[in-house]
């Protein structure tokens, strides 16, 4: 009898230990997923794209292990965010739906918006640009998921500018004015998003508003931009505006502008007023 109770206690103890180890392993995978995801975002901000993608892939792997052992809203949400950064639209949609089923209130909404963006991307790739453009427009106006709004804004502006620049005269002006309102609305909606200011700067430049374009490009640079390609293009926009203003401003206003501009050049450690620091590397 004593041996029976001893063996039973030992079995219960082993079960508790195994359960604790299982929970610890799950927590470890979730913790690792968070760390890799945050690191991916950090690397993205300093334009180390390949390293960032590698970190998002590790985050996804750890999140997959976490949901396999102990599914939760947080684990599925992290999984979906990693998939979103890896442009795995359908998988991200599934993950957000799963997160919703575990209590993440925004999961269903995020899933729907990822699904729409994925559809628009496919339509655009297949040449159905007008249909894709309608979806991007809808997401710009309705989405409350910043990651999707930024992606939609990028595609929307690219398509709109391309079509606008094919027009001439009053029709071009009309389309540029419309695009200006859209990009101004985006920048006003989220002043902290450097990419929106970059888009606004591009549109203002096409409207020949070089001073305003310059100012928006500086704000974009200071707030940060999503990729190195966009970051460099924004620097070139700053130089372009500088050159245009040099041609157009009166000598008095030019001297005033130049004194301010050179302070920025010094702050950014550019070798001179027309060469960004990355060009000398």
3-state secondary structure the chain: CHHHHHHHHHHHHHHHHHHHHHHHHHHHHHHHHHHHHHHHHHHHHCCCHHHHHHHHHHHHHHHHHHHHHCCCHHHHHHHHHHHHHCCCHHHHHHHHHHHHHCCCCCHHHHHHHHHHHHHHHHHHHCCCHHHHHHHHHHHHHHCCCHHHHHHHHHHHHHHHHHHHCCCCHHHHHHHHHHHHHHHHHHHHHCCCCHHHHHHHHHHHHHCCCHHHHHHHHHHHHHHCCCCHHHHHHHHHHHHHHHHHHHHHCCHHHHHHHHHHHHHHHHHHCCCECCECHHHCC
Q: Percent of the chain at pLDDT above 90?
A: 85
Hey, which residues does 272 pair with through a beta bridge? Answer: 275
Q: What is the arithmetic mean of pLDDT over 238-263?
A: 96
pLDDT of residue 262: 96
89, 121 Cβ separation under 8 angstroms: yes
Q: What is the arithmetic mean of pLDDT over 227-233?
A: 94
Chain segment 103-151, per-residue pLDDT in tens: 999 999 999 999 999 999 999 999 999 999 999 999 999 999 999 999 9
Give 267: exposed, middle or buried? Use CB within 10 Å, 0-12, 13-18, 19+.
exposed
pLDDT at 14 over 90: no
55, 33 Cβ separation under 8 angstroms: no
Question: In whole angstroms, what is the distance from residue 34 CA to residue 66 CA?
Answer: 11
Chain segment 165-201, per-residue pLDDT in tens: 999 999 999 999 999 999 999 999 999 999 999 999 9
pLDDT of residue 16: 52
* Structural domains for the chain: 12-105 (1.25.40), 112-166 (no CATH), 177-281 (1.25.40)
pTM for this one?
0.84
Residues with Cβ within 8 Å of residue 154, at least 6 apart in sequence: 195, 199
pLDDT of residue 3: 52
pLDDT band with cut points at 50, 70 and 90 for residue 28? confident
pLDDT band with cut points at 50, 70 and 90 for residue 5? very low
* Stretch among 9-13, 18-22, 39-43, 266-270 having the lowest mean pLDDT: 18-22
pLDDT band with cut points at 50, 70 and 90 for residue 45? confident
Phi/psi for 86 (5° steps) reads -95, 5
From the list 268, 265, 245, 248, the residue with the least C-alpha distance to 257 is: 245
Structure tokens given for 29: 């995978």
66, 245 Cβ separation under 8 angstroms: no
* Stretch among 12-16, 80-84, 167-171 having the lowest mean pLDDT: 12-16
């Amino acid at each position: 009898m004593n041996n029976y109770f001893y063996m039973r206690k030992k079995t219960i103890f082993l079960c508790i230990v195994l359960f604790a180890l299982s929970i610890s392993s799950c927590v470890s995978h979730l913790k690792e997923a968070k760390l890799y995801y945050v690191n991916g975002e950090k690397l993205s901000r300093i334009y180390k794209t390949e390293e960032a993608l590698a970190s998002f892939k590790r985050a996804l792997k750890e999140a997959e292990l976490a949901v396999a052992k102990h599914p939760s809203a947080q684990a599925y949400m992290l999984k979906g965010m990693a998939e979103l950064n890896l442009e795995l639209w359908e998988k991200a949609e599934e993950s957000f739906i799963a997160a919703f089923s575990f209590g993440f209130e925004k999961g269903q909404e995020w899933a729907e918006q990822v699904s729409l963006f994925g559809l628009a991307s496919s339509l655009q790739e297949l040449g159905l640009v007008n249909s894709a453009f309608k979806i991007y427009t809808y997401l710009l106006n309705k989405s409350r998921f910043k990651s999707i709004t930024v992606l939609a804004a990028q595609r929307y502006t690219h398509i709109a500018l391309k079509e606008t620049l094919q027009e001439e005269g009053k029709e071009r002006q009309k389309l540029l004015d419309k695009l200006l309102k859209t990009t101004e609305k985006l920048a006003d909606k989220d002043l902290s998003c450097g990419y929106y200011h970059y888009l606004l700067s591009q549109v203002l430049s096409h409207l020949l508003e070089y001073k305003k374009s310059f100012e928006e490009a500086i704000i974009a640079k200071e707030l940060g931009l999503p990729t190195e390609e966009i970051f460099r293009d924004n620097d070139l926009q700053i130089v372009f505006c500088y050159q245009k203003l040099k041609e157009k401003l009166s000598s008095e206003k030019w001297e005033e502008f130049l004194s301010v501009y050179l302070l920025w050049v010094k702050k950014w450690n550019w070798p001179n007023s027309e060469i960004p620091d990355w060009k000398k590397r």
